[in-house]
Every structure is written in C-alpha cells, then in structure tokens.
Amino acid sequence: MDSKENKILHSTTVVGLIKDGKAVIGSDGQVTFGTTVLKHTAKKIRKLYNGTVLTGFAGGTADAFALLQRFEEKLDATRGQLYRSVIEFAKDWRTDRYLRRLEAMMIVMNKEKLFVLTGNGDVVEPDDNLAAIGSGGPYALAAARALVETTNLDAKTIVETSLKIASQICIYTNSEFTIEEL
C-alpha cells in the first residue's frame, strides 16, 4: 500500500443518500489549512448536467475543482449517463499523470445511483445507497445508517442530522451546511 492510500483526508464531511426516490447530498462549509480555518461557508456540492446529477468533494480545493471540471466533461460527452461517465472518469483519474497526483474524493449521484470515486481509480457503489467521505465521513455515515434503520425520516433530514452529528465530533467539519436534493 502506498502512502497516498494510507493518507486520511483532513478536509470536510460530505454525505449522500438515495431514499424514497429522492437523492440528497450535503456538506459542511469549512476550509482548513493545517490547523487554521480559512473559510466557514465554502460550497462543496454542485448540481451538474442540467440539474440531474449531484456531486460533492472532499480534499484539496484546487484538486477537487480540477476533478469536478473533468467529471463534468465526461458527463457532457456521455449525455448525462452517470454510470458511463463514472467509469470513464475513473479510468482517466487512474491513468493520467496529472490527475493521479490530485488528492480528493468525490460522491456523484442521481436519483437512481450513487458512487464514491477516488484517485486510486476506485468506483464504489454502496449497497445501501448511502455514502460519506472526508474526515468527518465515518461519523456522518454511522449516524445516517442509524437514522435510516431506526426512523422514518426523509432523506434530507437524515443528511442534515448526520452532518450535524459529524460537526460535533470532527474538528475539520463545521455546521454551515449546503444541501442539494433531486
């Protein structure tokens, strides 16, 4: 395992969930540099391809924007076919020398499918239509899973509540949330 695989992204929290025909993704707004908070209200969530695809990113901001642009190009080239876009994008990310050096992760989703993409070329489609990334991701994921299994809350409320819980535990996650829904 190389050092990049072992590296924990101290960056943010992004949570995505598909439930009852709704796709919801949310993130906090904190941007840090080392132990300094640079910004509280960053927007790490985007609607793409005429508002039919949601994406959120964790990691280096410049790296994430470069990846977001490349992913959007794949979406356009495949006319919004999410699965094809994800596979083509992951191939590029893994094989392109420039892209391979970028340190970020992404969640991309539409109303039917949700994927986690990494710089190792991973394309993960979670079994339960639920994913979280970033340093607060494990906390948000655990909270969201508990809420999905034990409540009848809607997807947006689950995402918001799981972000709130992560923000109370992870120092790289704040309570300035951006949430988008399809």
- Collapsed DSSP state (helix, strand, coil) of residue 131: strand
- Collapsed DSSP state (helix, strand, coil) of residue 67: helix
* Size of the chain in residues: 182
Q: What ranges make up the beta strands (E) of 34-156?
A: 36-39, 45-48, 53-59, 104-109, 114-118, 123-124, 130-133
Is 41 in the active site? no
Measured distance CA(178)–CA(163) in Å, rounded: 10
Q: Are 70 and 88 in contact (CB under 8 A)?
A: no
Q: Which of 12, 55, 118, 178 is catalytic?
A: 12
Residues annotated as part of the active site: 12
